[in-house]
Amino acid sequence: MSTKKQIKGKKILNILEEIYPSVPIPLNHEDPFTLLVAVVLSAQCTDVRVNQVTPSLFREGGTPNKMAKLPLKKIEKIIRPCGLSPQKSKAIKNLSSLIVEKYNSKVPESFSELESLPGVGHKTASVVMSQAFNIPAFPIDTHIHRLAWRWGLSSGKNVIQTEKDLKKIFPENKWNKLHLQLIFYGREYCPARGHDLSKCKICQLYRRKSNFK
C-alpha cells in the first residue's frame, strides 16, 4: 500500500516528467575520471563556471596518469576561478595518484572505494555512481534538500536524512534521472529567492504553509 508521501511523490514525478522528459548531465565530461574531477570542482561553485575551467584542465590532465604528474601549482592556477583552489588542487592531484597506484588508473565503481579518495564525499560519490556508472544513487545537493523540505517530503534536518526519506518515497529506478530533474526544476521554477508561486506547479499543490524557505 502506498503512503501519502509516495502518492505525493508520484504526482511530483509526473509533473517533472512532463517538464523534463529528458535531462542533460550539467557537468561536461568525457569519462568517469573527468566527471569525478568536475564534481570535485563543483563544490561551492556553479556548473557553468566548472564547465568553463575544465577544458583547459583536461587538456593538461585528462587522465589519472597525466593529472597525477601535473605540478600542484599548475592545477591550482587553472582551477582558481572555481574557488577553494588550494584544497581542490591537492584533492585532485592526490585522488589521481591513488587511482593510478591502487585502481590501475580506473575510477573505482563502489561507494566505499570512491569515498576513500581524497576530496570525495558521499554526494560526490553518488553523482559519479549515478552519472558515470548508471548505478542507482540519489545525490542530495542544496536544491534538492530545500525542495524536499518545502514540499513536505522530508524533515529537512540534514542531507543524510533527506536522502533516506526520498529513497523511501521514490522508486529506485527513478533516482538517477529524478535527482537531475529536481535540480533543474529548483533552479528554474522553485529557487530559494525570488520564488514565483504562479510559475511553480509543485508548490501550488504541496508548499508548506509556514516557515517557507
Pull the grid cell for residue 74: 599548475
Residue type for position 49: R
The alpha carbon dihedral of 48, 83, 80, 140 has a sign of negative
Strands (E), the chain: none
Q: Nearest CA to 156 among 148, 164, 144? A: 148
Cβ(126)–Cβ(114) below 8 Å: no
Cβ(57)–Cβ(79) below 8 Å: yes
5, 88, 93, 123: the catalytic one is: 123
47, 69, 90, 141: the catalytic one is: 141
**Is 123 among the catalytic positions?**
yes
**Is 73 among the catalytic positions?**
no
Pull the grid cell for residue 63: 587522465
Within 8 A by CB and 6+ apart from 156, the residues are 145, 146, 148, 149, 162
Q: How far apart are CA 145 and CA 159, in angstroms?
A: 6
Instruction: Give catalytic residues, as residue numbers.
Output: 123, 141
